[in-house]
Every structure is written in C-alpha cells, then in structure tokens.
Amino acid sequence: MTVAVTFGHGTQLMFEVTILVLAIFLGFEVISKVPTLLHTPLMSGTNAIHGVVLVGAMLVLGAGHKSPYLWVVGFLAVVLASANVVGGFVVTDRMLEMFKKRERPKPGDTGSRDGGPPAA
C-alpha cells in the first residue's frame, strides 16, 4: 500500500469509533428490555431521538452567512429536523399518556392464570 490516507484527527477518530461501537451495545441492551406492548412508542420515541440531527442542521445554518447555498440547504435541513424533533416527542407523549391510565389490573384478571375452573 503506497497510498497515504489522510485522517482529520487520528486520535479523535478512534475515540469516536469507540463511542459508536459502545453505543451499539448499549442500544441493544436497553432496547431488549422494552416489552412488545410498548414497541410503537419505542419506535416513535427513538424517532424523536434521531431528531437530534437538528443540532447538525443548526451548525450548518449557523455558517449560512458564508454562502447562499449553505444558507438554503441549512435552512431546509433545520425545517425538516425541527419537524422530526417536535413531532416525534409530541406523538410519543400522546401515546404514552394513554398507557398511564387505568394501570391497575382488574380483580377478575388475577385468578385466571392457574387454570382453575372459572366461577360462575
């Protein structure tokens, strides 16, 4: 191999890759504990979390005064990402609110599991 590859910032890159790999494991670990009951809120909740791309979009638009091209692209990115963040959190909240109600099991629900004859 004769091609010398330039990296932006060698040690920091390795550090970031480490973080990335750890995040994968953390993600699997945390998410495997979520019951199927809550898979839809999980999806829309993670959806809201990737809305953090708004941070990146803001950085781009923040540099927008340097060129009209950056301004337009950054502006669009911020619009899309904001919709993602706000919509994601609001939808998730709406769903989870419904799960909070009436969380106590009904009395009739308890005796059923041991398979005894149902009382008439």
Partner 1 sequence: MSYTTTNFLYLLTIVTFVLALRFLSNPAHARRGNQIGAVGMLLALVVTWVKVGGTSWWALVLAMAIGGSFGAVAARKVRMTAMPQMVALFNGVGGGAAALIALAEVHRILPAPGRPAFDVSTAIALSGLIGAVSFAGSMVAFGKLQELIRGRPITYPGQQVGNLALLGGCLAVAAALAAGVQEEWLLWAAVGGGAVFGVLFVLPIGGADMPVVISLLNAFTGLAVAVSGFELQNDVLIVAGMLVGASGTLLTLLMARAMNRSVANVLFGAFGAVTEAGPQAAGDGGGRTVRSATPEDVAVMLAYAHKVVFVPGYGLAVAQAQHDVRQLADLLEQRGVEVSYAIHPVAGRMPGHMNVLLAEANVPYPQLKEMDEANPEFARTDVAVVVGANDVVNPDARANRGSPIYGMPILNVDEAQTVVVLKRSMNPGFAGIENPLFYNPKTVMLFGDAKESITKLIADVKNL
In the region spanning residues 48 to 107, those forming contacts with partner 1, defined by CB under 8 A, are 48-67, 69-71, 73-106
CB of 116 to partner 1, least distance (A): 10
CB of 2 to partner 1, least distance (A): 14
What one-letter code names the amino acid at 50? H
5 binds partner 1 (CB under 8 A): yes
Residue with smaller CB distance to partner 1, 1 or 66:
66
CB of 1 to partner 1, least distance (A): 13
1 binds partner 1 (CB under 8 A): no
CB of 106 to partner 1, least distance (A): 6
